[in-house]
Amino acid sequence: MIRDPAGGIRYILRMNRTAAMMALAGVVVLGGCAFEPETSAGAGAPAATAALAPITPTTLPGVPNVMLISDGVYSGGVPEGDAGFDTLKALGVRTVVSVDAARPDVEAAEARGMRYVHVPVEYAGISRGEQMNLARAMRDLLRPIYVHCHHGKHRGPAAAVVGLELTGEITPAYAEEALTSVGTSPNYPGLWACARDAEVVPPSELDAWKADLPAVAEVSDFVGAMAGLDRAFDRLGLAREAGWGAPADHPDLAPVSLAGQTADLLRVAAEHPKRVDDETAFVEALRVASERASTLERALDAGDTDAAETSWAALSRSCKDCHAVYRNHD
């Protein structure tokens, strides 16, 4: 299949309807489409706009929602354990870009010859600085590049397409098509707006940008995560009172995005726990609460208000029980 609505360089995807991805003889096959991995350093993005037909996401060992977005650029979920990083290695991945707030497993990547870059972004959208950092990563770092968030459906693919749009490698129309293909929810309007509104940055401006591409970015510590969590939880409560919609006096609130932010902040808090007598139990409590917030996010995204109420009750119970032990008696 050949797609080139922007009139740029055309990339030919050789179609054979396999359901798996594999690395064989230097060729990676993803969802029935094959390409030869890019291994050159620097100036990684093609000079003209590429237009690929978005590929249906594929679940591979240790990595969910893997999708080939452009020549040598994948998006997907966080690689889980050795299986996930072994899969990335089999794909020939040279650079892993995390846009999740959780600390990347830099050691696992480096052990397999891959560089990690950490550019955390929020569910509400991608800031201009973050967009520029992503564009420099897409343009300058070794390919294939794997861009991931937590689940691989929302922030990760949005970050990847925005970075590619700024370099001129893909068009906004194709970016929206890619997000549709991977299932990015319309309940994250900020991410969609970033993909829709991104414009090509002149090379001179991109060259002048002082890119910040650390292996592990500084994120909120426990206190910062808890402060953000309190705000997100309060806003979730307002959305619940409005029937799991945006309240009239807060039309900017997006309940699904807030639930995802809550889950993210709980995972950050688990990475930076305060000192308590039983830290293991405390971290486990945060982990369970994060899973319940993720369940709430999925229920809201599906429009299932009954399931959302059940998930909200479970999340609220987690917070109340945790506070009773670890906060109320400090």
Is the pLDDT higher at 8 or at 84?
84
DSSP state string for 107-142: HHHHTTT-EEEE---BTTB--HHHHHHHHHHHHHS-
- The per-residue pLDDT for 321 is 87
Task: Give tens-digit pLDDT for 148-193.
Answer: 998 899 999 999 999 999 999 999 999 999 999 999 988 888 999 9
**Three-state secondary structure call for residue 192:** helix
- Tell me the domains of the chain and their CATH numbers: 14-208 (3.90.190.10), 222-326 (1.20.120)
DSSP alpha helices (H): ranges in 167-221? Answer: 172-182, 189-197, 203-208
pLDDT at residue 55, rounded to an integer: 65
Mean pLDDT of the chain: 81
- Kindly tell me if the per-residue pLDDT of 281 is higher than 60: yes
| All residues at 6 or more sequence positions from 303 whose CB lies less than 8 Å from its CB, including other chains | none
Asked if residue 105 has pLDDT above 90, the reply is: yes
Quick one: tokens of 171? 């068009």
Share of the chain above pLDDT 70, in %: 79
In angstroms, what CA-CA distances link 101 with 268, 277, 330? Answer: 7, 26, 27
Asked if the model's pLDDT at residue 99 lies above 90, the reply is yes
Query: How far apart are alpha carbons 262 and 269 in whole angstroms?
Result: 11
> Which of the residue ranges 24-28, 62-66, 294-298 would you say has the lowest mean pLDDT?
24-28
Q: What is the pLDDT of residues 198-225, one digit of tens each?
A: 999 999 999 999 999 999 988 767 766 7
Going by their DSSP bridges, the two strands 14-15 and 63-70 should be labelled as unpaired
The string of pLDDT tens digits covering residues 28-62 is 444 333 334 444 444 444 444 444 455 678 899 99
Q: Can you give the pLDDT at residue 53?
A: 53
The whole-number average pLDDT for the span 136-152 is 95
> Which residues partner with 15 through β-bridges?
33
Q: Is the pTM of this model over 0.85?
A: no
Lookup result for tokens 């070794």:
142
- Is residue 275's pLDDT more than 70? no
